[in-house]
Structure 1
Amino acid sequence: MAPIDPTTEPSKEAYNHGMALDVDNKRVQCCYCGKIVPGFNRLQHHLGGIRGNITECPDVPVEVKDFFRHSLVSVKVDHLVKEIGELDHPSPPLKRTRTSNVKANGVKSQQAVSPQNGATIARSSLSKPTCYYKRRLTSPNGNAGKNGLDLDSIKGKRSIGRFFLENGIDFCAVSSPSFNSMMGNFLQSCESKRFIPSIAELRGWIFDDELHEIENYVKKVRLTWPLTGCSILLDGWTDHLGRSLINVVVDCPEGPIYLRSEDVSPSTKGANALQVLLEAVLEEVGIQNVVQIVAHTSSDCLEEISKQLIEKHRSLFWTVSATHCLSLILDKITMIDSIKLTLDNAKTITKFIYSRAAVLMLLRKYVSSHDLVRPSSIKSATPFLTLENILSEKSNLELMFTSSEWLRSSWASSVEGQLVTTLINDSSFWAGVNLAVKASIPLVRAISLINEDGTPNMGVIYETMDQVKETICEEFGNKISKYTPIWKIIDEIWNTILHSPLHAAGYFLNPRLHYTEDFFSDTEVAGGLLITIVRMAANQSTQDLISRQLHEYADCEGDFKVGTDNNSKERFSPATWWIHFGRHCPDLQKLAVRILSQTCNGAEVYGLRRDIAEKLLSSKREIMEYNRLHNLAYLHYNLKLKQFKMRAKFDIVNDVVVDPSEDWIVDESYQAGGDGSERTFHTILGIGSGSTSLINTLKEGGSSGVPPKAEPTSEV
């Protein structure tokens, strides 16, 4: 929670440590132990450990407990003093502190004179003064550092601090000469000193203010969960130590928030570590708020855990990230023999160009995009985006490799250069590129579509997958022999990993799709909708009500008719449309809003830095150090997620710095100084390797079949 401001009234400070569950604040939940108490006044007693009509919070931080305990005790003392003062009695003798013991401990005593009878009172300086708690609860670097700063300076320093925190930059960088020089170039020299925070300020009041602000943001997001429901997103990986780590993110239309990071390694945490974690997360979020858990991958371990959770929690759904599943489809397409050979040939071209500076300079003179390789935030999309770009630059590449500059270069007469020139002028190579692009780009576009603007996509994934298949069919001229191998790969992933009853229900309840001429409810859609209703409805009577209200929706009656006029279904998101026009069918409205408010993606789409969690979970730490790192991770991740919610339109092409080991760029044989020409020649033409040449593959009709079914597995 946010650091306590000791100048704040306890009654107001309590609002930072509890969450109201109703508009009248009659039911308040403690943010530490989750206990529900009757009001914020009782919450103060609960946090301060004042026994009586409420139990003490077992998880409250010491400084918070001391603050509320001191405040409540002070109120009681004030009342007692007031009562004694109202009595017309002489002041009772006051007990003196034995000065001899005080002096023996080397502590000076002070003499105070009673205002009534002049009696002297010895007060040891060991006793805590009134301001003791204020000093203790204030950060040692603290809020006092903000005193004397004007509003512009505070805003300027906080904006720089937020930049450091959001991007996980070491605070020490603020003292580097280059950073100060950079700031000085943008600001007058005197102004730059005014706005550049010190390391102490970054660790002190700036960190505290940002943490307090992000906690308030998280509270605001959490308040929407009972209405829209939420999805628990998992992002797991294996680090360099072999540990199975996982980040947990909770997603809803108001925005994703980071919840926690955990080590779930079976070898050290037990075989059921992940299941224990998920049960704890469900309890923390509230099972009544959770619609689905979205896994980052599929494996036998995860499938078993999903079955156990669904058996225990009837309303819960388990799905796998749609982006991950589409990436699996693209990976399997790369394994088709003809496409694999095309990709290898394309890599030969790009490696040759990018590993030779003179050739790369010539490329950037002739190619309009200045680059051939198209890096992507979705790794599996990079090969096909690159092929698409190469295809678009076909005429420019042909012009480049027939130009006088190329013909005069030493590389034109080299074995490697002649091989690349042959490829560029080979019509069968371009036919292979064209085939691979037709098979893959609709899937790449689907990834962009479901990540387009960060809005919930449960209502579109079903239709999107249908459109992908139809587009691929059209790209291949409706020739069954051409598109069937691709369809088989798509259906394999869809039927065994991706498809969920929630997707079918989202399709049916999406007004943008339902009220169109193309809408078609087949057995799969109707069955998925029925399963979703049975599992999410509270009881049989609610199921019956929803079934009757579905007829009104299907027949476009009442407010539903109003909602189809004036282009309302296009102006509003599907969930918002239901909030506006589904009031006369409240049970169906509640169901539709909760379904259509969910995402189909996993946490991997947010690109959270894993090294932050690895450092947090690296080893057992002293509790203060662990809390510091926990707060740092909590703040960093939630700042990133908050910015992700506010970001611009998603672009699958990500012009990041490409890893030098990227196999589209580095020609290892050339970099190592070896000749490798003969090996490259055989690889390109398919000679002596047992593989079929590209020309023969195309003559035989394209793909040789569907790649193996096995999916890359993960320990988590």
Structure 2
Amino acid sequence: METEHDENYEDIAAANRSIRGKSDIAWSYVIQSKDEKGKTVLECAFCHKKKRGGGINRMKHHLAGVKGNTDACLKISADIRFKIVNALKEAENKKKQNIVLDDTNLDGPEIEDVDGDDIRVDVRPSQKRKKQGIDLHDYFKRGVHDQTQPSIKACMQSKERIHAVDMSVALWFYDACIPMNAVNSPLFQPMMSMVASMGHGYVGPSYHALRVGLLRDAKLQVSLIIDKFKSSWASTGCTLMADGWKDTRQRPLINFLVYCPKGITFLKSVDASDIYASAENLCNLFAELVGIIGSENIVHFVTDSAPNYKAAGKLLVEKFPTIAWSPCSAHCINLILEDVAKLPHVHHIVRRMSKVTIFVYNHKPALNWVRKRSGWREIIRPGETRFATTFIALQSLYQHKEDLQALVTSADPELKQLFKTSKAKVAKSVILDERMWNDCLIIVKVMTPIIRLLRICDADEKPSLPYVYEGMYRARLGIKNIFQEKETLYKPYTNIIDRRWDRMLRHDLHAAAYYLNPAFMYDQPTFCEKPEVMSYSWVGRENIGQNRVIPVFNSLTIII
């Protein structure tokens, strides 16, 4: 019977192909005819249900049993249904590969499946937006009057012409050694659109114009933007930040920046060589900056956690009681990492493990051998001023443990000769010391929560202040769990955290930010209900009802 049916299906397919010239697999199981009005009717060869619309695509869904477009055939055999389902998947994948998804070229060619054949058709941008449900404002990313809107002429250009223009831009990038991520600048596409709007023959600005006239005009535009920021300081309040650093001549400089919900503004840079060591002189300098901004506009003051800055901050708060002072969270966490790195056993491990890195990168045979290993990535080396990189380097070394052990046990004659030297023997003893690797792993696990918190505080991706209190709490708890609550083991680490956290970083501001963070407020099982958290209303009960908005460090806004 199956052979008989197959022969019938082949006869049907041959007849359909002779009439329609179709090659879709579904035609082998569909009977095509005309009704009394001359319209095409497709009939399933299994259940003999007739369909008068949707073409072969609808019949394929019927045969495959796909819900949505039509009902499923209940009499089709499993192997034929499997073939039809695979045919639908192949057609869908082909459409995805050929549809132009870039909304800057919405008028490009698209592949559509019509009656089982892949036919290349051109769809206008308006039709494609309507079909895909794209909002008009999503297409014009800076409004319906966006200057980057492609013109009709641009839409009609051939792929060869577009490639030629792209190549000319690329060659300019390569010749001028411009970093490729410059194209990610929000000003890149507006610049290209303005150049295109000038038409053929436009000559770019000269070297003199870029360094004199245009630079002066750009400065004026930036000044107008800053003035717009300043106008919001009175209504929303702002945070004054003092960033101390030293230049190549070892001069102590202080950069002053102002944060408000609209953005961060650089105010000025001061050479503090004469006043750096005196808390009173620093306080007078800070007071001068407060006078420029307006004491009624500043609600938060952030500095480094150095003793002179700390003393100056307290003096400033006494002068201006409405200003809250706090040290920089990232700086305090860096100091925690520095103190941990100074612990005798940690320093010993770091010093021994660093000998492995130095040995590998100072001997070409060893370096060339490991670089040929599958999946090899370079070992991270610690930086001089970034204390977190010490522990990141330990983690990197631990990830290369197998490669390094394979290196020292290799049968390569050149490597065997190399490991006869004294320095190589020291590196080999470290690499084969399993206890050293275990200690390295413990230190990495202990410091991972602190490093994760540092990344949050030292980045601009999201507000960091609401996560400092919770981060410190989880870091201490994680360290205790690693050492299974054995006080003699975890105390050296928690004492350092407590010393830096309690003396420098622990402020009611962090407790208030933690309390007001929705990520923790509604997580009742783990929410901390310590008195310092529940008394968050320290920020000013007398101000309740005035609808005053306090923006605090790193984009957090507290409404009281």
Show CA shifts across 1:489-509 (max 9, x none).
101001111111211111222
CA distance in 2, matches of 1:387, 1:271: 39
CA distance in 2, matches of 1:298, 1:244: 13
CA distance in 2, matches of 1:494, 1:454: 24
Q: What secondary structure is seen at the aligned counterpart in 2 of 1:288?
A: coil
User: How far did residue 457 of structure 1 move?
Assistant: 2.3
| Pair 1:362-2:318 in alignment | no
Q: What secondary structure is seen at the aligned counterpart in 1 of 2:345?
A: helix
Show CA shifts across 1:367-386 (max 9, x none).
73421125579701111001
| Pair 1:326-2:281 in alignment | no
CA distance in 2, matches of 1:277, 1:267: 9
CA distance in 2, matches of 1:211, 1:425: 60
| Pair 1:255-2:263 in alignment | yes
CA distance in 1, matches of 2:276, 2:410: 63
Question: 2:468 is matched with which residue: 461, 467, 472?
Answer: 461
CA distance in 2, matches of 1:288, 1:345: 55
Kindly tell me: are residues 202 and 420 of structure 1, through their superposed partners in 2, closer, same or farther at Cα, counting changes over 3 Å?
A: same
Show CA shifts across 1:59-103 (max 9, x none).
xxxxxxxxxxxxxxxxxxxxxxxxxxxxxxxxxxxxxxxxxxxxx
User: How far did residue 197 of structure 1 move?
Assistant: 4.2
Based on CA coordinates, which of the two structures has the bigger radius of gyration? 2
What residue in structure 2 maps to residue 379 of structure 1? 386
Question: 2:305 is matched with which residue: 297, 308, 316?
Answer: 297
What residue in structure 2 maps to residue 594 of structure 1? 550
For the 8 Å contact 2:456–2:464, the answer to whether it is kept is no
For the 8 Å contact 1:368–1:393, the answer to whether it is kept is no
What residue in structure 2 maps to residue 472 of structure 1? 479
Q: What secondary structure is seen at the aligned counterpart in 2 of 1:366?
A: coil
Alignment gaps of 5+ in structure 2: 1-146, 149-171, 184-191, 193-198
Alignment of 1:156-555 (within 5 A): 197-239=205-247, 241=249, 243-266=251-274, 272-299=280-307, 301-366=308-373, 368-374=375-381, 379-405=386-412, 408=415, 410-517=417-524, 518-527=526-535, 529-533=536-540, 542=542, 546=544
| Equivalenced residues, count | 369
Q: Which has the higher strand share?
A: 2
User: How far did residue 416 of structure 1 move?
Assistant: 1.2
Q: What secondary structure is seen at the aligned counterpart in 2 of 1:315?
A: coil
Q: What secondary structure is seen at the aligned counterpart in 2 of 1:232?
A: strand
CA distance in 1, matches of 2:276, 2:304: 22
CA distance in 2, matches of 1:487, 1:211: 49
Show CA shifts across 1:412-468 (max 9, x none).
221111221111111121022112112212111111123454333222211111111
For the 8 Å contact 2:302–2:553, the answer to whether it is kept is no
Show CA shifts across 1:630-677 (max 9, x none).
xxxxxxxxxxxxxxxxxxxxxxxxxxxxxxxxxxxxxxxxxxxxxxxx
Q: What secondary structure is seen at the aligned counterpart in 1 of 2:222?
A: helix
For the 8 Å contact 1:322–1:600, the answer to whether it is kept is no
Alignment of 1:3-82 (within 5 A): none
The letter of the residue matching 1:224 is S
TM-score of the superposition, structure 2-length normalised? 0.59
CA distance in 2, matches of 1:485, 1:389: 24
Kindly tell me: are residues 500 and 268 of structure 1, through their superposed partners in 2, closer, same or farther at Cα, counting changes over 3 Å?
A: closer
User: How far did residue 483 of structure 1 move?
Assistant: 1.7
CA distance in 2, matches of 1:522, 1:531: 14
User: How far did residue 271 of structure 1 move?
Assistant: 7.7
Kindly tell me: are residues 383 and 208 of structure 1, through their superposed partners in 2, closer, same or farther at Cα, counting changes over 3 Å?
A: same
TM-score of the superposition, structure 1-length normalised? 0.47
| Bigger RCO of structures 1 and 2 (CA < 8 A, at least 6 apart) | 1
CA distance in 2, matches of 1:458, 1:246: 22
User: How far did residue 341 of structure 1 move?
Assistant: 0.5
Kindly tell me: are residues 415 and 367 of structure 1, through their superposed partners in 2, closer, same or farther at Cα, counting changes over 3 Å?
A: farther
Alignment gaps of 5+ in structure 1: 1-150, 153-176, 547-585, 602-716
CA distance in 2, matches of 1:320, 1:192: 56
CA distance in 1, matches of 2:279, 2:329: 27
What residue in structure 1 maps to residue 126 of structure 2? none
Kindly tell me: are residues 289 and 200 of structure 1, through their superposed partners in 2, closer, same or farther at Cα, counting changes over 3 Å?
A: same
For the 8 Å contact 1:367–1:393, the answer to whether it is kept is no
Show CA shifts across 1:157-214 (max 9, x none).
xxxxxxxxxxxxxxxxxxxx9985658x999xxx999776433112223212321232
CA distance in 2, matches of 1:207, 1:404: 63
CA distance in 1, matches of 2:457, 2:176: 42
